[in-house]
């Protein structure tokens, strides 16, 4: 699975799953534009990746269309093409539904769903005529709900619907769209979740018990799946999703 001479944008790539995907793509031969709202962290990742290949950083908010247009234009200016988009940027939004602030609901959906739409919109305009691949990072929350995660569940389920629509509408233009649904992955977001648990050690032990494979996932696990879906190895795969959860949902969790 190689991405030689391909150009990718990876959103939310300053840390966690996004950083893992950016690193894996550079290893596979792609040039990568690291997009993140955290400017300095994005630049550090891009600088690290540039030692192995071609990578640059651009700061922006996925909920801001002007930032997205600027990122796409900068990608074309620096690398001359755009072949792959990985929509990964996301935020959590824990809270009981009845008491959930409307402004917080709007912000989660802006980042987790509207941002995917906006980036796909502007990436597709560039991909037309040459084809491309879109990989949307959803979650097992798309089809397994947990108490106190209504807005996150809704946003991740929406990504699956958006992915199918993209595959249907732009397949005739040789643009593929697929989603990945990670389970528990060892990222800063999971660290934040553990930090708010009454007993973080017990919570981690319980999470580990959910996984028949005996461990939680790593960003590399998700990155390998993203590489497959972005590569020509998945040339006839579009409009679907790949669960990366160590059989957790198969075990009923």
C-alpha triplet 145, 148, 154: angle, nearest 5°: 50
pLDDT at residue number 238 = 98
Are both 117 and 239 inside the same structural domain?
yes
251 located within any domain: no
pLDDT of residue 4: 97
Residues 124 and 139 in one domain: yes
Q: What is the pTM of this model?
A: 0.95
Domain that includes residue 200, residue range: 188-216
Claim to verify: residue 177 and residue 193 sit in the same structural domain: no
pLDDT tops 90 at residue 188: no
Continuous segment of H or E residues that includes residue 87 = strand 84-87
152 part of the active site: yes
Q: Among 56-60, 134-138, 209-213, 223-227, name the one with the lowest average pLDDT.
A: 209-213
In this model, does residue 191 exceed pLDDT 90? no
Residues 50, 69: one domain?
yes
DSSP string, 49-72: HHTTS-EEEEE--TT-HHHHHHHH
What CATH number has the domain bearing residue 154?
A: 3.40.50.720
Determine, yes or no, domain membership for 252.
no
Q: Is residue 67 part of a domain?
A: yes
* Annotated catalytic residue within 100, 116, 146, 152: 152
Tell me which H or E stretch contains 8.
strand 7-11
Q: Examine the pLDDT at 81 and tell me if it is beyond 90.
A: yes
Examine the domain organization and report whether 121 and 198 are in the same domain.
no
Mean pLDDT of the chain: 95
State mean pLDDT over 170-190.
94
- Given a cut of 90, is residue 179 above it in pLDDT? yes
Q: How many domains does the chain have?
A: 2
48 and 173 belong to one structural domain = yes
Angle at 110 between CA 104 and CA 111, to 5 degrees: 95
In a domain, 50, yes or no: yes
Q: Is residue 1 part of a domain?
A: no
Q: Same structural domain for residues 103 and 212?
A: no
pLDDT in tens, 18-66: 999 999 999 999 999 999 999 999 999 999 999 888 999 999 999 999 9
109, 206: one domain: no
The answer to whether 112 and 91 are in contact (CB under 8 A) is yes
Would residue 109 count as lying in a domain?
yes
Instruction: Determine which helix (DSSP H) or strand (DSSP E) holds 124, and give its type and residue range.
Output: helix 115-127
Does 96 lie in the same domain as 207?
Answer: no
| 119 and 174 part of one domain | yes
Judgement on whether residues 23 and 108 belong to the same structural domain of the protein: yes
Is position 37 within any domain?
yes
Kindly state whether residues 125 and 175 are assigned to the same domain: yes
In a domain, 53, yes or no: yes
Radius of gyration of the chain (CA): 17
In which order are the strands placed within the sheet that holds 132-137? Answer: 55-59, 31-36, 7-11, 84-87, 132-137, 175-182, 241-244
Confidence bin at 227 (pLDDT 50/70/90): very high
């Amino acid at each position: 699975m190689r991405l030689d001479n391909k150009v990718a944008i990876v959103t939310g790539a300053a840390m966690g799953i996004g950083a893992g995907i950016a690193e894996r793509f550079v290893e596979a031969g792609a040039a990568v534009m690291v997009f993140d709202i955290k400017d300095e962290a994005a630049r550090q990742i891009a600088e690290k990746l540039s030692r192995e290949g071609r990578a640059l950083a651009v700061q922006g908010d996925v909920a801001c269309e002007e930032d997205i247009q600027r990122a796409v234009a900068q990608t074309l200016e620096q690398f001359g093409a755009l072949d792959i988009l990985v929509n990964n940027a996301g935020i959590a939004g824990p809270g009981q539904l009845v008491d959930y602030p409307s402004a917080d609901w709007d912000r989660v959906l802006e980042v987790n769903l509207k941002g995917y739409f906006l980036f796909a919109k502007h990436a597709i305009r560039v991909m037309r005529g040459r084809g491309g691949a879109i990989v949307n990072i959803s979650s097992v929350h798309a089809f397994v709900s947990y108490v106190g995660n209504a807005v996150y569940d809704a946003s991740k389920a929406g990504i699956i619907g958006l992915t199918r629509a993209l595959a249907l509408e732009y397949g005739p233009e040789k643009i593929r769209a697929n989603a990945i649904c990670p389970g528990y992955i060892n990222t800063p977001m999971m660290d934040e979740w553990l930090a708010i648990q009454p007993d973080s050690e017990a919570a981690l032990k319980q999470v580990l018990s959910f996984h028949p494979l005996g461990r939680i996932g790593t960003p590399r696990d998700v990155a390998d799946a993203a590489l497959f879906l972005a590569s020509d190895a998945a040339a006839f795969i579009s409009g679907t999703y790949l669960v990366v959860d160590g059989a957790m949902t198969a075990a009923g969790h």
